[in-house]
Amino acid sequence: MPHFTLATAVLPRAEWQAREAAHEERADALTADWRVRVQRGEKHPIEDFLFTYYPFKPRLLRRWHPGAGVVLADAAALDRAAWRWYRPDGDGLAVDASAFLAANSSTVDFIEKLLSRTAARVSQFGCFGLHEWAMVYRQGEHRHSVPLRLGQAGTDAVVESHHIGCSHFDAFRFFTPAAVPRNRLQPTRATSAELEQPGCLHAGMDVYKWAIKLGPLVPGEVLLDSFTLARDIRWLDMRASPYDMAPWGAEPVAIETADGKAEYVRQQRAFAERSNALRARVVTAISVARAAG
């Protein structure tokens, strides 16, 4: 873990309010389609995942935090003063890192350990997104009411012709019973810190989950960058899945072919780099909070 000697930064009111307004505008743009679909009762099999599997309300994305070690000048008399995990600092406000860490020590420790260990591992690029295929293997009813691109028999044949090496528990736990023994790994919640690696798409999406769980310790810009990464990864995840996503503008990455595998790995490598950069920013935010606390 990096060592920090913290020098508290003071943001003038005009500066931090401009950052807050820009954050809110960006968050609103990222959640606009979801909010419209909710009002209309519409579903989207790709992007709804970001709001259902990750059950965080858009208002949490919209709330900007500066992170620990920052004083927001001239903020003590504003509504923000009533927000949880803030403390007065003269006429300003600062994240109460000490209180947050004391109340959430085990969660923060786990996230720091998981992200640090994941980032330190060599990325693996041989999974080809087969976790989604294993979730429908030899199963008549599926999680998504979307047709299988190759049909059930064709989908099963793809699974049976590949070696599956899923390292992510929250993907593995949705494998069909027939697919479970086909995975060369048997990940559990307890082994996450020992198995997760940067090439895993689901581990990359989960950086968003860990960032939002850290609440005010994570600067708002980092949170929205992690959400954007999760959204971008989700599109590849479903384009490479056995489902026919073309009606939603997602042309298939046909991982059952050599060209499809090459395209999947090309994008997977780029996502591994982006996710590790974000892991470093989240771990740094924790380290800053520890120094501030």
**Tens of pLDDT, residues 95-115:** 999 999 999 999 999 999 999
Half-sphere exposure of 47 (CA within 13 A, CB side): 19
Residue 172 and residue 179: Cα distance in Å, rounded?
Answer: 9
Beta partners for residue 31, in sequence order: none
Residue with tokens 């090496």: 165
CB distance 195 to 75 below 8 Å:
no
Q: At what angle do helices 258-292 and 220-239 cross, to 10 degrees?
A: 160
Per the DSSP assignment, residues forming a β-bridge with 135 are: none
Q: How many CB atoms lie within 10 A of CB 51?
A: 18
Q: Strand pairing partners for 88?
A: 93
CB 247 within 8 A of CB 180: no
For the stretch 50-82, pLDDT in tens is 999 999 999 999 999 999 999 999 999 899 999
Q: What angle do CA 138, 149, 180 make, to 5 degrees?
A: 30
Identify the CA nearest to 175 among candidates 50, 184, 199, 148. 184
Could you tell me the two tokens for 22? 């820009």
Per residue in 144-179, pLDDT tens?
779 999 999 999 999 999 999 999 999 999 999 999
| pLDDT above 90: percentage of residues in the chain | 91
CB 56 within 8 A of CB 47: no
Could you tell me the pTM of the whole model? 0.94
